[in-house]
Structure 1
């Protein structure tokens, strides 16, 4: 064991500072504090793309610090052990923490009958109905807030209900995102919207845009219908309902931590939880919930007041004939393709399922109840019907 010189001690201090700063920065970047600091989304994407390199670099820095400690006899073993634990915690936080807190239920989700769900849910609870080939699943909003990702085979289609509480946004996509069997979970949120990761392929997906980050794969979306439990159980008596059991100790902690901030997220008196939104579009109040539709390069948003005044609204977007339907009794807004096999459908009445006197129109995916501040951030050129 040699005695360290002044320069060697300085080298040790520099390596210790760089190791600590690097570890802490990675942990902050890839967790919610990074979004509180409005760190760029591109940094998050780049870190994840090269995560194993960055993890390896973190380990190399720590190993070099240990080498200096052992050869130069700097610091006590207690402090080196404490530093090692700190680096380990940062690596876990940057790469694995959110997955542990918010587990995906793409596979193995628990569904219960209408009767069982009625003992769990209140009539005023918001729920999203997914109907494919006459088979229906219900996803209560409060049961989606922790897992975020819930899958099932519905009507012969393997689909995933994804939910972002910050955006108040449910989006249903097919499980095959272009690479075969997927394993979709949450990575982080950027600009108050969920970033999902397919752990099989390493692909990232921005929930609100359904765009992949590292490929040009097209994500196939399916519609969902937003209503209340009181209406859902009447409209879909044979449906199965997703039930998150809240049976982990950490679930109570998460609900307590997020209860206050989420109440503020729905309140126009407060800004967004994370100050990463443009907030420049003043056409509507920031927290107003809208129904958005995205068709290529054109987007449109409808307010509740508009649909209440126009319960049957026919319009054209990008030469596509569309029909917007509002059911006042069940407070449902749905959008349909106004043509079948290229022929415009003529009808006098239509219900929220798209059933006319003679035809069944195809329902189209909408962003149901998304906050205006989030929608307008991601789609700044959106049209608005208010």
Structure 2
């Protein structure tokens, strides 16, 4: 990143209050299903995850006063799991980046008047309730508190880590609502819940300060795909509408950030196995953690692998713009979208090839599949692959959370 760009980025971050931080943890799916036989998306079993630190208890650190002002907070600062010096200000105050608490939605047709076909959206489904959350909105708000299919969820996006994550907002018998603290840890957003004002790491879903320090939110599977793919598959589904804030929705305040060599406000050690802001899809299966670079998946179209005994297929489809490249998100470079599935169906382990048109074929039956893991033609038409818990992140953040992560390397 050149000096002018760095200075511009710093001013933007302070002015608009966009911030984001990291830890060392391993999210473990509660169970890994072996096969899929249901067709509709609302009938497909999906793994959820309650993340833990390598299966060990997270210990609280000895009480001490934080080295920053606590005015305006009712947080129990005597409880924490991280060192105070790891937490820094991102510029904005508490709720300086306003979460969306009462989201409104519009039709695909209405959304198409301002979103391009290439715009990235977070696809999340709970039962038959399927929704799209454009990054063109989330880049300015970072958190959407929503209820989907009766489940309270937090749809989150940390621009500095390129981390789009959906959480269950239920913790025990409480339903939490989240806001932004204005604080960062290793370049990642620190959230807080409004019920106890405990602080939560967005990347890990772990409570790090306050009453819920050491507690864990459950991850819910989601995908980042193009608006065109969402509209084609779910033409009647709702799309998050622009809220009534004065924001330049559709623009990216982090121009060229995803080609920077040093992430903003990250002071940890970089893992030089990949460029810092290279996109990876991070996969977690039964405690095993592995990263697949977008560059490798893009080149191959399809990657077959096995992790913790589960045969996986990693798919890539072009046509999705980076939200962190050009000033106009719709003009961002094509990074495509990825998806990770268990490739077993009805007792058979399938092998896939990319068709070159955004679809895939399995060699065993010749059926055609889409990026959502659905067979759309052929013998297996209507079958769906089991979606795996996977994360579309920048490499530096994934490696900071998972210093022992495996890294996929294409065979030469």
On whether the aligned pair clears a TM of 0.5, the verdict is yes
Give the structure 2 partner of residue 13 of structure 1. none
Give the structure 2 partner of residue 224 of structure 1. 222
Give the structure 1 partner of residue 387 of structure 2. 363
Q: Aligned pair in 2 of structure 1 residues 100, 196: CA closer, same or farther (>3 Å)?
A: closer
Q: Aligned pair in 2 of structure 1 residues 352, 32: CA closer, same or farther (>3 Å)?
A: closer
Over residues 358-377 of structure 1, what are the superposed CA-to-partner deviations in whole Å (9 max), with x where a residue is unaligned?
A: 74332123211x11122212
Which residue, 265, 275, 278 being the options, matches 1:274?
Answer: 265
Give yes or no for contact 1:324–1:335 (8 Å, CA) kept in 2. yes
Rounded Cα–Cα distance in structure 1 between residues aligned with 2:121 and 2:258: 17
Q: Aligned pair in 2 of structure 1 residues 34, 265: CA closer, same or farther (>3 Å)?
A: closer
Corresponding position: 1:109 with 2:103? yes
Q: CA deviation at 1:110?
A: 1.7
Give the secondary-structure state (helix, strand or coil) at the position aligned to 2:203. Answer: coil
Rounded Cα–Cα distance in structure 2 between residues aligned with 1:33 and 1:319: 38
Give the secondary-structure state (helix, strand or coil) at the position aligned to 2:217. Answer: coil
List gaps (5 residues or longer) in structure 1.
1-27, 36-41, 57-93
Corresponding position: 1:175 with 2:175? no
Give the secondary-structure state (helix, strand or coil) at the position aligned to 1:285. Answer: coil
Give yes or no for contact 1:264–1:273 (8 Å, CA) kept in 2. no
List gaps (5 residues or longer) in structure 2.
1-13, 22-60, 76-88, 321-335, 351-361
Q: Which moved more, 1:230-239 or 1:114-123?
A: 230-239
Corresponding position: 1:99 with 2:99? no
Q: Which has the larger radius of gyration?
A: 1
How many pairs were matched up?
302
Over residues 207-262 of structure 1, what are the superposed CA-to-partner deviations in whole Å (9 max), with x where a residue is unaligned?
A: 212223244544221222212223322222112111233633xx46x999x83xx2
Give the structure 2 partner of residue 243 of structure 1. 241
Q: CA deviation at 1:164?
A: 0.3
Give yes or no for contact 1:327–1:351 (8 Å, CA) kept in 2. no
Q: Aligned pair in 2 of structure 1 residues 34, 242: CA closer, same or farther (>3 Å)?
A: closer
Give yes or no for contact 1:325–1:351 (8 Å, CA) kept in 2. no
The aligned runs of 1:304-315 (5 Å cut-off) are 304-315=294-305
Give yes or no for contact 2:373–2:387 (8 Å, CA) kept in 1. yes
Rounded Cα–Cα distance in structure 1 between residues aligned with 2:280 and 2:236: 29
Give the structure 2 partner of residue 265 of structure 1. 257
Over residues 272-329 of structure 1, what are the superposed CA-to-partner deviations in whole Å (9 max), with x where a residue is unaligned?
A: 22142321x1111112111112346432111123223444433322233433233457
Give the secondary-structure state (helix, strand or coil) at the position aligned to 2:236. Answer: coil
Which residue, 278, 291, 298 being the options, matches 2:281?
Answer: 291
Give the secondary-structure state (helix, strand or coil) at the position aligned to 1:333. Answer: strand
Q: Which moved more, 1:158-167 or 1:115-124?
A: 115-124
Which residue, 209, 214, 236 being the options, matches 2:204?
Answer: 209
The aligned runs of 1:188-207 (5 Å cut-off) are 188-207=183-202
Give yes or no for contact 2:120–2:135 (8 Å, CA) kept in 1. yes
Rounded Cα–Cα distance in structure 1 between residues aligned with 2:65 and 2:370: 46
Give yes or no for contact 2:19–2:158 (8 Å, CA) kept in 1. no
Q: Please tell me the root mean square deviation across aligned C-alpha atoms, in Å.
A: 3.9
Higher relative contact order (CA 8 A, sep 6+): 2
Rounded Cα–Cα distance in structure 1 between residues aligned with 2:137 and 2:71: 33
Rounded Cα–Cα distance in structure 1 between residues aligned with 2:19 and 2:384: 48
Rounded Cα–Cα distance in structure 1 between residues aligned with 2:207 and 2:258: 28
Calculate the TM-score normalised by the size of structure 2: 0.63
Over residues 20-61 of structure 1, what are the superposed CA-to-partner deviations in whole Å (9 max), with x where a residue is unaligned?
A: xxxxxxxx9xx99999xxxxxx99x963999479999xxxxx
Rounded Cα–Cα distance in structure 2 between residues aligned with 1:354 and 1:33: 33
Calculate the TM-score normalised by the size of structure 1: 0.67
Over residues 130-182 of structure 1, what are the superposed CA-to-partner deviations in whole Å (9 max), with x where a residue is unaligned?
A: 12323221111120022211132223322111110111110001111335111
The aligned runs of 1:61-140 (5 Å cut-off) are 98-105=93-100, 107-140=101-134
Q: Aligned pair in 2 of structure 1 residues 108, 355: CA closer, same or farther (>3 Å)?
A: same
